[in-house]
Chains A and B, each alone.
Chain A
Amino acid sequence: MEKRQQQKEATPVIYLKPSKGWLSIDFNELWRYRELIYFLTWRDIKVRYKQAVLGIAWALLQPVLTVLIFTVVFGVLLQTPSQGLPYPLFAISALLPWQLFANALQRSSISLVGNANLITKIYFPRLAIPLSSVMAALVDFGVSFFVLIGMMVYYRYLPGWNLLWLPVIILFALLTALAVGLWLSAINVQYRDVQHMVPFIVQVWMYASPIVYPIEIIPAGIWRTLYGLNPMVGVIQSYRWALLGGDQPDATMLISIVVVIFLLVSGVYYFRRMEKTFADIV
């Protein structure tokens, strides 16, 4: 009863008015809706593996099959250098953060349109939708991480203390995906061209990142600096470093961080500006 009373006194007042200008994130509100983000993430994962015989095992199979292909084509046939690592290990250590990124990007960019029925009927912070798509990708990543562990055991690689950096690097990969995903999902609400473009963006981006080849292939100097504009270069390099050792991430990592911060902040503002119209045009 007392609790009731308190609730009544704290009746929130919501103001309805035409939206103007740029809005920042309301973190309090996002926090209040954390359970919604959780349930949307949970739904995405659940639905993805429903009625599939292998279920969540697909999250293991996909990286395994991809590494197999890469190893045959790039490792065996093309004899691509791999920083002195066994090629499969070299590939998987880049493939995991890449698939996390690509998955998160693909899911988030179509997420708003895919949830149009919710957006047009019910109010909640719209950021919850791309956020939960990115989170869902993280679950897949967690599962496929076992592939990496298995391969490290097989090749007898023991990670060093650099491993402690891993959570930070994974977070960075997620933020990168979120930054781009915010932009693309908001644009996709009005221009469905985006969802046709995304597969190509992902493909081009993959070859523009040091996944199947080592970064040394890119000439040092100005080219390497330009290459660093791709934030996934920093992610993949540091991820490999954290797990398998080798050269420490250099100044390219700094460029990547700056690029991601820029994309993320602008993405959030663009998203917040557009979200008021989502229900009307989706």
Chain B
Amino acid sequence: MSEIAIRVENISKQYRIGVLQERPDTLRDLLTTKAQRAGRWIKRGGASQYEGPAHIWALKDISFEVERGQVLGIVGRNGAGKSTLLKVLSRVTDPTLGFGEIHGRVGSLLEVGTGFHPELSGRENIYLNGAILGMRREEIDRKFDEIVEFSEVGKFIDTPVKRFSSGMYLRLAFAVAAHLEPEILVVDEVLAVGDAEFQRKCLGKMSDVAQEGRTVLFVSHNMSAVLRLTQETIVLDQGKMVMRAPTPEAVDHYLNMGLTKQGERFWSGEDFINQKAPFVPVALRVLNLTGQVVDTVNAAEGFSIELVYQLTEDITGLRVGIYMMTTRGEFVFTSFDTDDPQLYQQYTVRTQGRYISRCRIPSNLMNEGRYVLGVNASVYRIQRFFQDDKALTFTVDATGAPGMQWPEPRLGPVRPKLEWKIGKVER
């Protein structure tokens, strides 16, 4: 059963940028720009319309296939082309170039609540929204009670949705959309709504859909949801497909994208919003035993992390620290430079000037893998001056670490050298 549900070849989508200046918003503008463009076109000798700096490829040469029943994740940063791709696949907009074929009806969940009208009641909106999403009336009749129950808005069902709380509104909207039954479901960032309990319910519904053998394209910034729901994932960057791989691999790749390499990170003025803060970060570095700035450190040797910063005024009670995280966003540990009571006493007040806070990561602590460093500078419970959760990534190499005689990967972010004793129990 390896039927193809979606196949696209070299799908590309071009938009004009600088829309505000470029696009003729009124008829008068249209006439003048048409004239100008005709002039340019003649000068160029009638070159292709796809040229010029005023155009941007939101998608470029995207090709992939999705089998029926597969749940495919799509990840990428904002502006990477995820939404454009979904719009092309759901036929909202046509590709500029390329070709694709879709076997089956496509139902899209591009932002829940599309087509909800605030003046209409919950009941009326269920019907309206259902029709917009492509449900038949008898289908909605049949599922009506189920939808209401799922949404938990029960007794407010005949109240205009403009009087709903935003949570109720989103729950109702998701409930309608979740009861669609197309062969192919396109989901964009719907899990960002509601409280934790409802999110859990949504995720559950999504995996039900997947288990029913329907094809799902799932776009999200929530990596744990992507990991949970999909086996395979596409990574988009600047309109191009940079990777298609089993989800854990693709997610790691995505999380590493755009993070600086070289074991060093510098900050310039634009990187932090609170420019008036007396704490100005300068650099974050990962150093090996010999004090060199490196991207890859050895777990068996241990390494150092240092943060360079400038204080523009005296600060009382400052603590500067790091978060160590895996690339999936799980915390390994948090540590502050004034954790030690003695240092805490000594640096009650830090006078203005330039500082370096350096910590040593002991040997045989970290497991091999790629890690993310976050930085935090704050006064406990008073003020946070600076925070960057993804300041730097680096690699830990496990050569010489405990248990390397077995070349299998070890689970978990730490790989401590523990003292074992083996004794034979005599009977």
Contacts and interface: CB of A to CB of B under 8 A. Distances in A.
A17 B114 contact: no
B356 interface: no
Contacts of B96: 18
A49 to B, nearest CB: 10
A154 interface: no
A250 interface: no
B200 interface: no
B411 interface: no
Contacts of A51: 119
B128 interface: yes
B120 interface: yes
B169 interface: no
A123 B105 contact: no
Contact of A121 (B15, B102, B108, B183): B108
Nearest to B97: A18
A35 B131 contact: yes
Nearest to B58: A280
B214 to A, nearest CB: 12
B280 to A, nearest CB: 42
A192 B25 contact: yes
Interface in B2-43: 8, 11, 15, 23-27, 30
Interface residues of A, number: 36
Nearest to B29: A191
Interface stretch (B82-90, B270-278, B360-368): B82-90
Contacts of A14: 91, 101-103, 106
Contact of B119 (A38, A50, A190, A279): A50
Contacts of B127: 39
B114 A280 contact: no
B106 A123 contact: yes
Interface stretch (B132-140, B260-268, B301-309): B132-140
B115 A16 contact: no
B94 A36 contact: no
Contacts of B95: 16-18
A85 to B, nearest CB: 41
A222 interface: no
A21 interface: no
Contacts of A31: none
Interface string B122-166: 001001100111101100000000000000000000001000000
B100 interface: yes
A276 B119 contact: no
A15 B100 contact: yes
Contacts of A123: 90-92, 106, 108
A11 B94 contact: no
A260 B30 CA distance: 28
A121 B92 contact: yes
Contacts of A13: 101-103
B160 to A, nearest CB: 8
Interface of A: 11-19, 35-36, 38-40, 42-43, 46-47, 50-51, 117-124, 190-193, 276, 279-281
